[in-house]
Chain A
Amino acid sequence: MKSFLACLFLIIIGALIFGAVLKGIWGNIPAESLKDKTEYSLRDRGRYLLTQNLIEHQTFALTREQANLAAPDAGYYKGKWFELYPPGLSILAIPFYIVGLRFNLSFVATFVMGGIFAIGILIFTFLIARQILKMPYWASILASIIFGFSSNSLGYSTSLFQHHASAFFILASFYAVYQYKIHKKWGFILGFFIWASYGLVIFLDYPNAILMLPVMIYFLIVSINIKKVNDRINLVFRPAIIITSVFFILITALHLYYNYVNFGSATKLSGSLIGFREGVDKALDKGGSLNDNLKKLSQKKNPVNSFKETSIANGAFELFIAPDRGLFIFSPVFILAFVGVFYAASRMDLEKGTLISIAAVTIFFYASWGDPYGGWAFGPRYLITALPFLALFVSYFLSVNSHKIVSKIVAFLLIGISAAISMLGAVTTNATPPQSEAVWLNSHYQTGTHYGIQYAFDFLMSGKTSSFVYTYFLHNRMSLLQYYELLLGGVMVVFTFVLFVMPVLGLIRSAPIFRRKSVPDKVSPAFVPVEHIRGAKGGAAEREIIPFERKYHARLVSLRKNDGN
Chain B
Amino acid sequence: MQGLYHSEKTMEISISENKINDIKTWFVNLPWYNIVLFLAVFLSTVAIGVSLMNGWIIAYGDAQSHLNIPKRIVDSITPGLAQLGGIWLPLPHLLMLPFVKIEILYRTGLAGSIVSGAAFVISCLYIYRLVWFITKSKITAFVAFLVFALNPNMLYLQTTALTEPVLILFFILSSYYFTRFIAITLKNKKLVDTEERARHKEFLYLVFAAFFAFCASLSRYDGWFLVLIESVLVIFVYLPINKYIKALKEKKFKAPFILIREKFYIGRGTFNKIQGMFVLFSVLAFVGILMWFVWDGLILGDPFYFTDSNYSAKAQQQAWLKRNELPAVHNLPVSFDYYFFDSMTNVGVVIFAVSLVGLIVYISKNNKLFAYVFALILVVPFIFNVFTMYMGQSVIFIPHITPSNFEWKIFNVRYGILMLPAAAVFYALLFHYLKNQGKLILIIFFLLQIGLYGIGYSKVMALSDGTEGLSASKNTDADLFMKKHYDNGLVLMDDFARSVNIIQSNIPMQNIIYIGNKPYWPVSMKEPERYAKWIVIQKNDEVWQNIYEKPDVRGRLYKYFNKVYTSPDILIFERMNA
Q: B-contacting residues of A (Cβ < 8 Å)?
A: 184-189, 217, 221, 226, 228-229, 231-240, 304, 307-314, 345-346, 348, 350, 353, 357, 364, 368
Given contacts A232-B16, A233-B14, contact A184 B8 (CB under 8 A): yes
Contact of B18 among A226, A231, A239, A309 (CB under 8 A): A231
Given contacts A184-B7, A186-B4, A236-B10, contact A368 B457 (CB under 8 A): yes
Contact of B11 among A185, A239, A310, A312 (CB under 8 A): A239
Contact A239–B438 (Cβ < 8 Å): no
- State A228–B456 Cα separation when bound (angstroms): 43
Contact B4–A309 (Cβ < 8 Å): no
Max chain A CB contacts within 10 Å: which of B6, B349, B400, B456?
B400
Contact A234–B349 (Cβ < 8 Å): no
Q: Which residues of B contact A348 (CB under 8 A)?
A: 438
Contact B457–A307 (Cβ < 8 Å): yes
**For the side of the interface on B, what is the size category?**
35 or more
Write the chain B residue with the least CB distance to A183. B7
Contact B16–A188 (Cβ < 8 Å): no
Contact B4–A189 (Cβ < 8 Å): yes
- State A346–B4 Cα separation when bound (angstroms): 38
- State A184–B10 Cα separation when bound (angstroms): 10
Q: Which residues of B contact A232 (CB under 8 A)?
A: 14-17
Q: Which residues of A contact B192 (CB under 8 A)?
A: none
Q: Taking A185-B7, A186-B4, A234-B13 as given, write out 9 further A-B residue pairs in contact, using a Cβ cutoff of 8 Å, ordered by the A residue number.
A: A217-B441, A221-B437, A228-B17, A237-B13, A238-B10, A304-B455, A309-B452, A310-B345, A368-B457
Q: Confirm or deny: B459 has a beta carbon within 8 angstroms of a beta carbon on chain A.
A: yes
Q: Which residues of A contact B457 (CB under 8 A)?
A: 307-309, 368
Q: Which residues of A contact B17 (CB under 8 A)?
A: 228, 231-233
- State A187–B8 Cα separation when bound (angstroms): 6
Write the chain A residue with the least CB distance to B17. A231
- State A184–B4 Cα separation when bound (angstroms): 10
Q: Confirm or deny: B401 has a beta carbon within 8 angstroms of a beta carbon on chain A.
A: yes
- State A564–B357 Cα separation when bound (angstroms): 36
Q: Which residues of B contact A311 (CB under 8 A)?
A: 400
Q: Which of B376-399 contact A (CB under 8 A)?
A: 399
Q: Confirm or deny: B135 has a beta carbon within 8 angstroms of a beta carbon on chain A.
A: no
Minimum C-beta distance from A443 to chain B (A): 16
Contact B4–A217 (Cβ < 8 Å): no
Contact A239–B8 (Cβ < 8 Å): yes
Contact B12–A235 (Cβ < 8 Å): yes
Q: Confirm or deny: B241 has a beta carbon within 8 angstroms of a beta carbon on chain A.
A: no
Q: Confirm or deny: B253 has a beta carbon within 8 angstroms of a beta carbon on chain A.
A: no
Q: Confirm or deny: B440 has a beta carbon within 8 angstroms of a beta carbon on chain A.
A: yes
Contact B4–A350 (Cβ < 8 Å): no
Contact A309–B437 (Cβ < 8 Å): no
Contact A310–B10 (Cβ < 8 Å): no
Contact of A185 among B5, B16, B20, B399 (CB under 8 A): B5
- State A345–B7 Cα separation when bound (angstroms): 34
Minimum C-beta distance from B71 to chain A (A): 36
Q: Which residues of B contact A231 (CB under 8 A)?
A: 16-18
Minimum C-beta distance from B404 to chain A (A): 10
Given contacts A217-B444, A309-B458, A353-B438, contact A237 B10 (CB under 8 A): yes
- State A353–B440 Cα separation when bound (angstroms): 12
Minimum C-beta distance from A371 to chain B (A): 15
Q: Confirm or deny: B341 has a beta carbon within 8 angstroms of a beta carbon on chain A.
A: yes
Q: Confirm or deny: B9 has a beta carbon within 8 angstroms of a beta carbon on chain A.
A: yes
Contact B18–A310 (Cβ < 8 Å): no
Q: Which residues of B contact A309 (CB under 8 A)?
A: 345, 349, 400, 452, 457-459
Q: Which residues of B contact A228 (CB under 8 A)?
A: 17
Contact B20–A312 (Cβ < 8 Å): no
12 A-B pairs whose Cβ atoms sit less than 8 Å apart in the complex: A188-B4, A221-B440, A235-B15, A236-B11, A239-B9, A239-B11, A304-B455, A309-B400, A310-B459, A312-B400, A345-B357, A348-B438
Q: Which residues of B contact A238 (CB under 8 A)?
A: 8, 10-11
Minimum C-beta distance from B22 to chain A (A): 12
Contact B10–A233 (Cβ < 8 Å): no
Q: Mark B427-451, 1 if CB is under 8 A from A, else 0.
A: 0000000001110110010000000
Contact of B441 among A184, A187, A353 (CB under 8 A): A353
Given contacts A217-B444, A232-B16, A350-B437, contact A310 B399 (CB under 8 A): yes
Q: Which residues of A contact B401 (CB under 8 A)?
A: 313-314
Q: Which of B322-364 contact A (CB under 8 A)?
A: 337, 341, 345, 349, 357, 361, 364
Q: Which 10 residue pairs of A and B lie closest in terms of their CB atoms, listed nearest first?
A: A187-B8, A313-B400, A184-B7, A235-B13, A310-B399, A237-B11, A309-B458, A188-B4, A313-B401, A234-B14
Q: Which residues of A contact B456 (CB under 8 A)?
A: 304
- State A229–B8 Cα separation when bound (angstroms): 20
Q: Mark B17-55, 1 if CB is under 8 A from A, else 0.
A: 110100000000000000000000000000000000000
Q: Which residues of A contact B444 (CB under 8 A)?
A: 217
Write the chain A residue with the least CB distance to B399. A310
- State A64–B445 Cα separation when bound (angstroms): 45
- State A345–B361 Cα separation when bound (angstroms): 9
Q: Which residues of B contact A312 (CB under 8 A)?
A: 341, 349, 400
Minimum C-beta distance from B349 to chain A (A): 5
Q: Which residues of A contact B341 (CB under 8 A)?
A: 312-313
Q: Which of B256-289 contact A (CB under 8 A)?
A: none
Q: Which residues of B contact A186 (CB under 8 A)?
A: 4-5
